[in-house]
Amino acid sequence: MPYSTLDIRQVGSTLLVELNRPEKLNALNHTLLNELEHLVTEILHTRDFRAMIITGKGKAFAAGADIAELAECTKETGADFARRGQRVFAMIESLPIPVVAAVGGYALGGGCELAMACHIRFASPNAVFGQPEIKLGIIPGYGGTQRLSRLIGVARAVEYMLTGDSISAQRAYELGLVNRIIESERLLDETLTFCATLEKLPPRAIEAILRTTYGVLSAHYEDEAVQFGILCGTDDFREGTSAFLEKRTPIFSGR
């Protein structure tokens, strides 16, 4: 399958996947999610790789869902919109090989959720994380309510989701959201070096670690999708997405 939103190459036994919509800050649109799903399915079938790196071209890892597509959601379609992203990210999290996010720049909204679906996160000093969905009148819908709570603790996760505040790379490291901070010019090379060290380790033991660590999680993803859909039917969602696209401050009514 030819990919239009992903740039893919093999480095040793590592598959390097670059999100390739730099003009849109690698926003996660339907095409990109479809291509990610197809790619992960191919990996599961071939098992040719020992690790995978996900990163983004340009100044962002991924700045979130494509707001123009998101704004089309209704109460009836919003839950399915969330389930779509949840399914793809769950497939990434369930891969039997380590998946490392190399985050240089913005990882916001769906981009942060994608990074959290990876098993390990390395970031450059200028990386920025966050779940700002509340500013659009909705909640994280691609598993963020569950994964952020798991990674940094419930109280801190709730605080960041309620405020929509950004998290600097240093603060993300302090919270446990990020494994390592690496200078921008060395981020990709050092991530590739880390993945190369995994080639010397027993693949079945690696797979067992991933399966036992992630396979027993009982996240409330369906509750998240249902609430996401309900909020897509509110006036506040319409106001939040319209204001974003019109580059103005939203005025929320509570309806």
pLDDT surpassing 90 at residue 222? no
Contact of 254 with 236, CB cutoff 8 Å: yes
How far, CA to CA in Å, does 50 sit from each of 2, 164, 189?
A: 22, 36, 17
- Is position 218 within any domain? no
Q: Which residues are catalytic?
A: 113, 133
pLDDT for 137 beyond 90 = yes
Report if residue 67 sits inside a domain. yes
Residue 53 inside a domain? The answer is: yes
| Residue 229 belongs to a domain | no
| Mean pLDDT computed over 69-82 | 94
Question: Residue 52: is its pLDDT beyond 80?
Answer: yes
pLDDT in tens, 147-190: 999 999 999 999 999 999 999 999 999 999 999 999 999 999 99
Tell me the pTM: 0.94
Could you give the CA distance from residue 60 to residue 129 in angstroms, rounded to a whole number? 11
What three-state secondary structure class fits 128? strand
| Residue 96 lies inside a defined structural domain of this protein | yes
> Stretch 99-114: mean pLDDT, rounded?
97
- pLDDT per position as a tens digit, 17-40: 999 999 999 999 999 999 999 999
Q: What is the mean pLDDT of the chain?
A: 94
Range of the domain at 182: 6-186
Give the residue from 72, 84, 210, 71 showing the smallest Cα distance to 143: 84
Instruction: Assign 54 to helix, strand or coil.
Output: strand
Number of domains in the chain: 1
Instruction: Provide mean pLDDT across the span 62-91.
Output: 94
Asked whether residue 238 is assigned to any structural domain, the reply reads no
Q: What is the pLDDT of residue 218?
A: 55
Residue 79 located in a structural domain: yes
Predicted confidence (pLDDT) at residue 217 exceeds the cutoff of 70: no
Q: What is the DSSP string of 56-121?
A: ESTTEEE--B-HHHHTT--TTTHHHHHHHHHHHHHHHHT-SS-EEEEE-SEEETHHHHHHHHSSEE
Per-residue pLDDT at 38: 96
Residue 140 lies in a domain: yes
The CATH number of the domain holding residue 167 is: 3.90.226.10
